[in-house]
Amino acid sequence: MIDSVRYRHAARAPEAVAGISLRVDPGEVVGLVGPNAAGKSTLARIACGLLRPATGSVHLRGDDAFGLPRRERARRVAFLSQDEPADLPFTAREVALMGRAPHLGLWALEAPGDRALAEAALVEADALDLADRPVSQLSGGERQRVFLAHAFAQDAALLVLDEPTAALDLAHQVLLVTAVRRRAQKGRGALLVLHDLALAGAACDRLVLLRAGRLLAEGGPAEVLRPDVLGEAYGTQVDVVPDPATGHPLVAPRIPR
Amino acid sequence: MTRVFALLLAAALTRQHLGPPVPAQVRRVVTLAPSLSEIVLALGAGDRLVGVTRFDDDPRVAALPRVGGYNDPEPETVLGLHPDLVIAQPAPENRGPVETLARIGIPVEAFALDDLKEVEDAMEQIGGLLGVPERGRALRDELERHRAGVRAEAAKGPRRRALLVFGLDPLVVAGPRGFAGELLRDTGAVNAAGDAERPFARMSVEAAVRAQPDVVVICGFEPPPGRPAIPGLPRARVTTLRSTALLHPGPRLAEGLDDLVAALRGKRAP
Amino acid sequence: MRRSAAVRAAIALLALAPLFALAVGVGLSLGAGTLSLSAALRGVEPDATVLFRLRIPRVVLAAIVGAGLSVAGVALQALLRNPLADPFVFGLSGGAAIGAALSVAVTGTALGVAGVSAAGWIGLLPTQFAAVLGSLAASVLVFTLGRARGRLHPERALLVGVVFNSFASALVIALEAVLAPEKTQAVLLWLAGTLGYEPQPVLVAAGAVVLVAAAILTALAGRLNLLALGDEGAAALGVDVERTRLLSFFAASAAVGAAVALTGLVGFVGLVVPHAVRLVAGPDHRVVLPASALGGAAFLVLADAIARMLFRGLGTEPPVGAVTALLGAPLFVLLLRRRT
């Protein structure tokens, strides 16, 4: 739960996040949407305890995120950033296994249970066939799946993913969302930063719409994904139609020809 | 306190003993500098030499095994020669290796040979160590007599300004302290590098030109041909002493002194 | 890789152990003189002295320095995420050079005398003592200048270190103009990396420092792996990135300081041994660190044995840094070609 946080990237810069409150309950998948520079990535990092807000607080399961020891915090929230390093000499399996780091002792030695969880995470992210290949040799989409497995292996109550579908093809986007939702059903929570509004509408229980560091709208997809709301947020005209099969709102930008 | 310590250290550095005590009878000697080999040979104890440095070029030790250079005597090689005594010249650079020799049970005596007093003391003391103290004293007396003779002759002749050069590029000259400078004084010449602090000091070419030497004596090596040894001294006479007698502080200094006198007088030196 | 890191590390060490044993065997049996092992063990002189007071301490020295430089190289390559980092990159070589050159320059002055007595009290030669002080001072300087906004930035520290090393070389060259020629030659030779014979207390102290540094770095090995994910990626996993960096940096500096005190700047080992180990054993630092320690020790013991043996032919022992490069470069190229 994030409460009234404010954050600046630099002393005289405008506030990247100006007084936002947000909560993700267990079993919820919350989508963070909005135009560029809305503060989505910044807010996501604050939620993980990676950036410290100037005012306000962040609580994970009731405890102050910045008061927890780092490893305990990492056990409660897992973060996947937009740009993970590409030149890793480690194999996919090793990267997935790294996700277990917050659970390991002093000499950082993994137990068989850790290895099993990492394997399962690779399966979940459909990256098992990549397991023995070095990450530096993988394509962008393959790499993203490996890092997803890495985040899954961390087995945290809250999963914060920043643009997790950016490089994924359609099939893998669906796969990712399914995996996240399945975890949610088991009581985990997820905060997804998404550009793709259609996906956001289909995947998330709740949406939070940001613009220029402020909260513009919050609620279920049907409430947030409306032409008037989106038009104000993005400054461009959109149409919203319900998906014929599922009823989820689909957003289409109105492009004059 | 520091001054006392410095004085003690300075005194200690002139002659130093390291390692186990030297046996009463010294039968096997290793020297770590050509000058020291020459002293042993001049004392008539050349048959006791069992090892020398790779820089020793005296024909009398040509057949002896080489134990290394000035700064890198090789301990296993030295040990293999079973020496009773190792004689060395102390220097910061060879301190480690020399201490190693002492540590593995070889008696070491180190003698500084920077000025004539040290050279003469060394000759006498090494004579004592080798059981021929009277020979050591004789070597010292010989050198002193020679010097006295040269000084007497010099009083009659002109006083020239001379620069005693031991290296070109960079220019290295003999200062007034140190054996080379002292011998130069014996010849009656005025040392053009008279304000140098060290026995062998670097001098800038400009300073050399300003000093206006009448004679430039190059010791022990040939200057590169086809160009002036020191630019800017057209009227100075440049002579080369090919013999290495002046480079080895020891009994050959008497010979070196004669060479120097001849060079200053303009006679062709050997 | 389905085996745990501990098992893989054990396998690596077991595979390297015979190599190390071979190197030690070569190191003990080769030298400038000849040695009869049986005679030495029976107490016959001079074989016994050669074995116990010359060759064994020398092999121990080479092992300590080889291990220390290798683990430092691994750590610094991880910290900088730069495979070209060597143990001296943070200004340690420049600091040692300045220290050594200054110690020779001030010989005979009051400062020099004070230094000699301080060094003697610790049991080091003045040049060694000055070099250690110089390298430690340099590492503190580089570390301080490499900080921005309260955090250590490795790339910035690297830049400062490289610039400092250049500055130090220039200073040493300038000092040469003041020093007598034979003195500078000695300093330069020592700086090129020369192994000598050190008394036991010095060996024990240096060995302890390297052992502790290696242990610290091996404990940090898992976190060093995670640093490859980037500062943010590692922090997201709960790693205290700043503290890991600090500890690794100081452990590596201590190991390098001990090595520099004993032997000057032996090149090539700290740069190449980590890479050779990674080529065979993979990038996991929990394996690479202990394997590099053992591999580096074996390599330097072997190179030193060869350098000592070359005395017979050359009349002088070449600096071991020359032998490591001459020996190691072709070996490394061979390894590179076989693995890619």
Residues of chain A with pLDDT under 70: 1-13, 106
- Rg (C-alpha) for chain A, rounded Å, is 18
> A78 to chain C: nearest residue by CA?
C236
Would you say residue C167 has pLDDT above 70?
A: yes
Neighbours of chain B (3+ CB pairs under 8 A): C
What residue has token string 């020629």? C181
- Reported as half-sphere exposure (CB side, CA atoms, 13 A), residue A65 has a value of 26
How buried is C172 (Cβ within 10 angstroms: 0-12 exposed, 13-18 middle, 19+ buried)?
buried
Angle at A212 between CA A207 and CA A215, to 5 degrees: 35
Which residue(s) pair with A238 in the sheet?
A253
DSSP 8-state code for residue A129: G
Q: Which two tokens stand for residue A148?
A: 């997803």
pTM: 0.86
C76 CB contacts (<8 Å, ≥6 apart)? C85, C86, C87, C89, C90, C252, C270
Residues of B in contact with C183 (CB under 8 A): 92-93
The whole-number average pLDDT for the span C314-336 is 86
Q: How confident is the model at residue C94 (pLDDT cuts 50, 70, 90)?
A: confident
For residue A116, what are the contacts with CB-CB under 8 A and spacing of at least 6?
Answer: none
pLDDT bin (cut points 50, 70, 90) of residue C6 is confident
Distance CA C187, CA C264 (A): 9
A61: number of Cβ within 10 Å: 12
How many contacts, defined by CB atoms under 8 Å, are there between B and C? 91
Q: How far apart are CA A111 and CA A77, in angstroms?
A: 21
What does the alpha-carbon distance between residue B181 and residue C112 come to, in Å, rounded to a whole number? 26
Q: Over range C106-126, report the average pLDDT.
A: 75
Alpha carbon C88 to chain centroid, angstroms: 9
Nearest-CA distance B114 → chain C (Å): 14
Query: Of A215, A218, A206, A219, nearest to A30 (Cα)?
Result: A206
* Mean pLDDT computed over C86-108: 81
Phi, psi angles (nearest 5°) of residue B102: -65, -40
Query: Using CA atoms in the order A121, A122, A125, A128, what is the torsion angle rounded to 10 degrees?
Result: -160
Residue B103 near chain C (CB below 8 Å): yes
Pairing of strands A2-8, A55-60: antiparallel
| pLDDT score of B6 | 47
Q: What is the pLDDT of residue B4?
A: 46
Q: Among all residues of chain C, which has the CA nearest to that of B103?
A: C199
Q: Which residues of A touch C278 (CB under 8 A)?
A: 89
Interface test with C, best of B30, B64, B70, B79 (most C CBs within 10 A): B79
How far apart, in whole angstroms, are the C-alpha atoms of residue C227 and residue C237? 10
Instruction: Give the DSSP H or E segment for C305.
Output: helix C285-309
Residue type, C28: L
pLDDT at A193: 92
| pLDDT reported for residue C70 | 96
Q: Residue B2, Cβ neighbours under 10 Å: how many?
A: 11
ipTM attached to this prediction: 0.87
Query: Is pLDDT above 90 for C192?
Result: no
Span C133-157, average pLDDT? 82
> Closest Cα of chain B to C148: distance in Å?
41
Domain of C122 in residue numbering reads as: 5-339
- Give me the pLDDT at residue B159, please: 87
Rounded to a whole number, what is the distance in angstroms from the first to the last CA of chain A?
A: 44
Find chain C residues with C-beta within 8 A of B103's C-beta.
Answer: 53, 197, 199
Is B217:B163 a contact under the CB 8 Å cutoff? Answer: yes
Q: Which helix (H) or strand (E) covers residue C280, if one does?
A: helix C269-281
Structure tokens at A94: 């090793």
Asked if the Cβ–Cβ distance from A108 to C5 is below 8 Å, we say yes
CA proximity to A178, closest of A167, A164, A166: A164
CA atoms C261, C262, C265, C266: torsion sign: negative
**Total domains, chain C:** 1
Say if CB C217 and CB C296 are below 8 A apart: no
Q: What pLDDT band is residue C217 in, cutting at 50, 70 and 90?
A: very high
Which of the four pLDDT bands, split at 50, 70 and 90, describes residue C183? Answer: low
Question: Is A131 in a helix, a strand, or coil?
Answer: coil
Phi-psi region of C315 (alpha: psi -120 to 50; beta: other; left: phi over 0): left
> How far apart, in whole angstroms, are the C-alpha atoms of residue B39 and residue B36?
5
Residues 6+ apart with CB under 8 A from C3: C11
Collapsing DSSP states into helix, strand and coil, what is residue C155?
helix
Chain C residues near any Cβ of chain A (below 8 Å): 1-2, 4-6, 218-219, 221-223, 225-226, 228-230, 232-233, 235-240, 278, 282-284, 286
Spatial separation of the C-alpha atoms in residues C79 and A88, rounded to whole Å? 14
Ordered per-residue pLDDT tens for chain B, 270 residues: 444 444 445 544 578 899 999 999 999 999 999 999 999 999 999 999 999 999 998 999 999 999 998 888 999 999 999 999 999 998 877 888 999 999 999 999 999 999 999 999 999 999 999 999 999 999 999 999 999 999 998 888 888 899 999 988 788 899 999 899 999 999 999 999 988 888 888 888 888 888 889 999 999 888 888 778 888 887 888 888 888 888 889 999 999 999 899 888 876 544
Which DSSP letter does residue C33 get? S
CATH classification of the domain holding C108: 1.10.3470.10
